[in-house]
Amino acid sequence: MQMKRVYCLYRVSTLGQVEKDDIPMQKKSCHEFVEKNLDWKIAGEFSEKGISGFKVSAKDRDAIQDLQKAAIEEKFDVLLVFMFDRIGRKEDETPFVVEWFVQHGVEVWSVNEGQQRFDNHVDKLLNYIRYWQASGESIKTSIRTKTRMGQIVQEGHFKGGGAPFGYRLVHKGRLNKKGHEVYDLEIDEEEASVVRLIFDRHSNAGMGPQTIAAYLTREGIRSRSGDSFVAPSIRNIVSNPAYRGVLRSGESVSEPFEHLRIIDDETFFRSQRFIEQRSAKYQESRRIPKKTTENCLLTGNIFCGHCGARLVTSTAGKKRVRKDGSVYDRRYWRYLCYNRMRHKDKCCGQSGYTATRIDEAVTGIVRDILAALKKVPLSSIVGKRHEAETRNMQGELTAAQRALQKKTDNLGALKAEVVKAIRGESSFGQDLLNEMIGAAESERDDAEQLVTELTERLAESKSMIQSFREQHNLYVSWAEIFDGCEVSVRKMIICQLIDQVTVSAGYRIEVKLNVTLEQYMGFSEQDVILCA
């Protein structure tokens, strides 16, 4: 009797199923099934652990590729699985994978569902329906899982996986639906101090991920594994909202939980602005220096007053040997207009400017601004800003209420016209009136929605007070550290206060403040001009 050679395929979608011995269960069932067929013998076994039959294509699954190669080489006669969905769950792919094996002379069997044949059109239809159902089950399972994961993070609980750097996993008595104790997050103060240092270097000193990683290595600070930090890890840290106490699962994002907060919102969002500004798409509008290691204070937001191009930095000077053998080396930094130096037809201004002269002038302006900010009482700033914001919102709300009343009156007039139309007294037909009423109702609903939104915003305006207080405290802290801080920190303070500095021939310097600061200081939109 000629024996049929059987290849068995076992698969589980998650590592959790591996730990629950799902594959040994499949293997045992397949072996028992083969024993019942006296002309069958197992010639090979293939296992896939943690491979999704729904998310992973057959062309990316080593086991399927190896089985297809063996089928072409006629190494086996039967492909046996515990259930057909072990082959896959993709409705637009798996039915054709099964049919491919049959076309290459391989019988496809399931312990629980029997043989998949393709003798007629009905067999093909049933084959497709089977995997269509399996795909649907996978989609429904995915939806249920995503929904539950979203609920878990919204409740402030850890969804699973490894703890982000800065946190540790602890048991707090929380049980899952099976009664097993699960982990929650807790701040690890030793690691959290490193996270705060990373954000400080990024948002205050303007260091990039590579520079921060090198800085931590020099300081002897290591990652959780004991290795040196690398740039991708730093990039992940400064981009992770978990450090402001926010938990995520897919599209579900929780409100900040204070017991998990390591970084305040102002610092975190300042880092996000810096990341965005330094990206390639912001090259033309960038105001943040890409590097903070240079001695010049204005790299990133200093421009030529003649052609509008961003000025670049360079060094100049003289080097010579004196008669006594000593070396005289005088080097100094300059801001240069590239257009004037390389394309003189594009710029009629000055080719270069001494950096020290411009930096000192702008530093004086910034010092005066910070000193003025420090003198303004917090209560005065908060009161005026809150009053201005609420006054603007109240104006918008009043206008929206008037518009709503007008649209409501218009709708009432149209409905009154319906009665006239019924009596034959209206100049409008019934169909036209219905169309006009539908449009008027839509406009009224939109106006009503706007009034509701503005009313809610006005009611929430008290929360703005905290925002104004934090902004004021930030400016005051800058005023206190500005003169004594390192160059990189001073550079980042300047770029946040100043939108751009424009320099023209004769060292005519024009300083344009950020709009928020102009409003805050009450400067209107006038620029500060200084002839150095």
Residue 158 belongs to a domain: no
Residues with Cβ < 8 Å from 244, sequence gap 6 or more?
Answer: 256, 261, 262, 263, 264, 265, 268
Q: What is the CATH number of the domain that holds 233?
A: 3.90.1750.20
Copy the structure tokens of residue 308: 């509008």
Residue 463 belongs to a domain: yes
Handedness of CA 381, 385, 388, 390 (dihedral sign): negative
Residue 59 belongs to a domain: yes
Residue 294 belongs to a domain: no
Q: Are residues 74 and 139 in the same domain?
A: yes
Q: Are residues 213 and 326 in the same domain?
A: no
Q: How far is it, in rounded angstroms, from Cα 206 to Cα 495?
A: 10
For tokens 């649209």, what's the residue? 407
Which pLDDT does position 69 carry in this prediction? 93
Output the pTM of the full model: 0.52
Domain termination site, one of 432, 453, 469? 469
Domain termination site, one of 251, 282, 313? 282
Residue 66 belongs to a domain: yes
Please calculate the CA angle 34-35-38 and round it to the nearest 5 degrees.
Answer: 90
Which pLDDT does position 290 carry in this prediction? 58
Domain containing residue 415 = 378-469
Q: How far is it, in rounded angstroms, from Cα 18 to Cα 139?
A: 21
Which pLDDT does position 524 carry in this prediction? 44
Q: Helices then strands (H, E): number in the chain? A: 16, 16
Please calculate the CA angle 445-450-455 and round it to the nearest 5 degrees.
Answer: 125
Q: Are residues 26 and 137 in the same domain?
A: yes
Q: Are residues 72 and 14 in the same domain?
A: yes
Which pLDDT does position 526 carry in this prediction? 46
Q: Are residues 386 and 402 in the same domain?
A: yes
Q: How far is it, in rounded angstroms, from Cα 512 to Cα 519?
A: 13
Residue 207 belongs to a domain: yes
Copy the structure tokens of residue 344: 């003189």
Which pLDDT does position 296 carry in this prediction? 83
| Domain count for the chain | 4
Domain termination site, one of 219, 248, 282? 282
Residue 366 belongs to a domain: yes
Q: What is the DSSP code (8-state) at residue 56?
A: S
**Amino acid symbol at 520:** Y
Which pLDDT does position 198 carry in this prediction? 95
**Amino acid symbol at 265:** D
**Cβ-contact 333, 295 below 8 angstroms:** yes
Q: Are residues 509 and 361 in the same domain?
A: yes
Q: Are residues 345 and 479 in the same domain?
A: yes
Q: Are residues 340 and 236 in the same domain?
A: no
Q: How far is it, in rounded angstroms, from Cα 262 to Cα 193?
A: 9
Which pLDDT does position 236 carry in this prediction? 94
Q: Are residues 521 and 444 in the same domain?
A: no
Which pLDDT does position 25 carry in this prediction? 86
**Cβ-contact 69, 58 below 8 angstroms:** no
Q: Residue-wise pLDDT tens for the chain (532 aa)? A: 689 999 999 988 765 544 456 788 889 999 999 999 999 999 999 988 878 766 788 888 889 999 999 999 999 999 999 888 888 877 778 888 888 999 999 999 999 888 888 877 766 777 667 766 666 665 555 555 566 666 666 666 776 778 899 999 888 777 766 677 778 889 999 999 999 999 998 888 888 899 899 999 999 999 999 999 999 999 999 999 999 988 876 666 778 888 889 999 888 988 888 888 777 666 555 656 656 556 788 887 899 999 998 898 888 877 777 778 787 777 888 999 989 888 888 899 999 999 999 999 999 988 888 888 777 776 666 666 666 667 777 888 888 899 889 888 888 887 777 777 766 777 777 777 777 888 888 888 888 888 888 887 777 665 566 666 777 778 888 888 888 888 888 888 888 888 889 999 999 999 888 756 655 655 544 444 555 5
**Amino acid symbol at 499:** D
Which pLDDT does position 289 carry in this prediction? 62
Which pLDDT does position 415 carry in this prediction? 78
Residue 162 belongs to a domain: no
Q: Are residues 10 and 86 in the same domain?
A: yes
45 φ/ψ angles, rounded to the nearest 5 degrees: -135, 140
Q: Are residues 103 and 31 in the same domain?
A: yes
Q: Are residues 357 and 208 in the same domain?
A: no
385 φ/ψ angles, rounded to the nearest 5 degrees: -65, -45
Q: How far is it, in rounded angstroms, from Cα 465 to Cα 476?
A: 16
Q: DSSP string of 273-299?
A: HHHHHTSGGGTTT--S-S---SS-S-T
Q: What is the CATH number of the domain that holds 60?
A: 3.40.50.1390
Q: How far is it, in rounded angstroms, from Cα 63 to Cα 162?
A: 29
**Cβ-contact 80, 33 below 8 angstroms:** yes
